Amino acid sequence: MDLRTRVNSAVKQAMKDKDQARLSTLRLINAAIKDRDIAARAAGNETGVDDAQVLAIMDKMVKQRRESVKTFEEGGRLDLAENEQAEIEVIQEFLPRTLSEKEVDKAIDQAVDEVGAQSIRDMGRVMGVLKSKYTGQMDFGAAGARVKDRLAGT
């Protein structure tokens, strides 16, 4: 079952369960997907976004909410931080399992080998491979630093 179908099924279930908080977050996901669909169609892609792009959308939504949680906690607004954290949990239900530190290192090594990276100038190609294979499974900000360290040490 593709992600879009899973999200729509979850919307229906949340409506039946009268779970307003969950329903609100699921509707935000649907709205973000539809916005990207419209942009893709305007660019000439008649099929809209695929599952990989939907994963990227959800990954971005999680990042935004994590930043909001941090900001709200620093501002002493724990109630708002809790709401954002609840949204993160709903969104993460649709994302693949996050890789462990060891698995991230292995993925980086495989990507470096795959593109034949020799120096820091190859970092963009390595990150491209990682993003195409592991969207939603790792923090690319942290992975970028690790790739940089790995290529600097090569």
- pTM (2 d.p.): 0.73
Structural domains of the chain in order of their starting residue, each with its CATH number: 3-92 (1.10.1510.10), 101-152 (1.10.10.410)
Closest of 96, 100, 127 to residue 114, by C-alpha: 127
- According to the model, what pLDDT value does residue 101 have? 87
Q: How far apart are CA 106 and CA 138, in angstroms?
A: 12
- According to the model, what pLDDT value does residue 18 have? 94
- According to the model, what pLDDT value does residue 154 have? 54
List, in sequence order, the alpha helices (H) in 20-136: 20-42, 51-74, 78-92, 101-115, 123-134
- According to the model, what pLDDT value does residue 25 have? 95
pLDDT tens sequence for the chain (154 residues): 688 899 999 999 999 999 999 999 999 999 999 999 898 888 887 777 888 888 889 989 998 999 999 999 999 999 999 999 999 999 989 888 888 889 988 999 899 888 888 888 888 999 999 988 887 788 888 888 888 988 887 5
- According to the model, what pLDDT value does residue 15 have? 95
- According to the model, what pLDDT value does residue 115 have? 87
Q: How far apart are CA 125 and CA 102, in angstroms?
A: 21
Q: Is 87 exposed, middle or buried (0-12, 13-18, 19+ CB in 10 A)?
A: buried
